[in-house]
Amino acid sequence: MKHRRIAFIGCGNMGRSLIGGLIANGYPADRLCGADINPDQREFTARQFGIEVLEDGRHAVKGVEVVVLAVKPQVMRPTIIALRPALAADGLLLISVAAGIRLSALARWAGEQTAIVRVMPNTPALIRTGAAVLCANGNVSASQRNTAESIMRSVGLALWVEDESLLDAVTALSGSGPAYFFYVMEVLENSAVALGLSREQARLLTLQTAFGAAKMALESQLDPAALRRQVTSPGGTTEQALNVLGEGRLDELFGAALKAARDRSVEIAGTLGDDP
């Protein structure tokens, strides 16, 4: 990727993770700058990465080619409106990593001719094992798509969708998904303690088992159903446990959970993005 000058508006966890990912992948720190209204965030980010971090985003975006908006969804509208004069620069790419703000709302606030990529990341980006899905408006060039993808690949997997409505399903799956796995690990750990294991034993075995299963799934050419069958001996302990999970309709429960999360994502988008 060409070393474009990039400004990060918001230097919280997600903003810093992207800055750190880029630098770890060899991106020149002097091509990056940040802005944050919180003085502690400014000081911490500047010290950690050796980049300039300003209080006023309007100064940070002057002369840059890419602006990454990593602020909370609730303040996205006033943030963009304050930056709008600078966002009119030719060839500028605007990337939003805020959940629930649709491309139409971003364009309404930034200017209808602005090249915009909307991204749904997830929290494992903080340790560079994230999963991000991107969607671009019609003003984004092929080169700008490559730039946006490279930024997100610096902290994990990056995939594109052309239908923006699918980002609500993405939010339900990978955006909220880490919490589902944490919850399953929590339940397994507590259940193992109830069976007599110590808390430390139960936690270590739960975490290593989850890690091992995920690594096997990533490295195998088989799908999860085939892997499950491989470790399920007829009449064995695994089969007995899976029978109980099946009787509890775990598949229906997860289906309902994802649908609830998807529906809430749609609701939030309407609430946050319909301002004139």
pLDDT at position 228, please? Answer: 97
**Res 177 pLDDT > 60:** yes
- pTM of the full structure: 0.91
Summarize the confidence of residues 4-27 as an average pLDDT.
96
Name the CATH topology of 6-163: Rossmann fold (3.40.50)
pLDDT tens profile 106-131: 999 999 999 999 999 999 999 999 99
pLDDT-derived band of residue 273, with 50, 70 and 90 as boundaries?
confident
DSSP string, 211-269: HHHHHHHHH-SS-HHHHHHHT--TTSHHHHHHHHHHHTTHHHHHHHHHHHHHHHHHHHH
**Res 79 pLDDT > 90:** yes
Alpha-carbon distance of 120 to 142, in angstroms, equals 20
pLDDT-derived band of residue 90, with 50, 70 and 90 as boundaries?
confident
Residue ranges of domains in the chain: 6-163, 175-266
pLDDT-derived band of residue 1, with 50, 70 and 90 as boundaries?
low
pLDDT at position 65, please? Answer: 96
pLDDT tens profile 39-73: 999 999 999 999 999 999 999 999 999 999 999 99
Q: Which CATH superfamily is domain 175-266 in?
A: ProC C-terminal domain-like (1.10.3730.10)
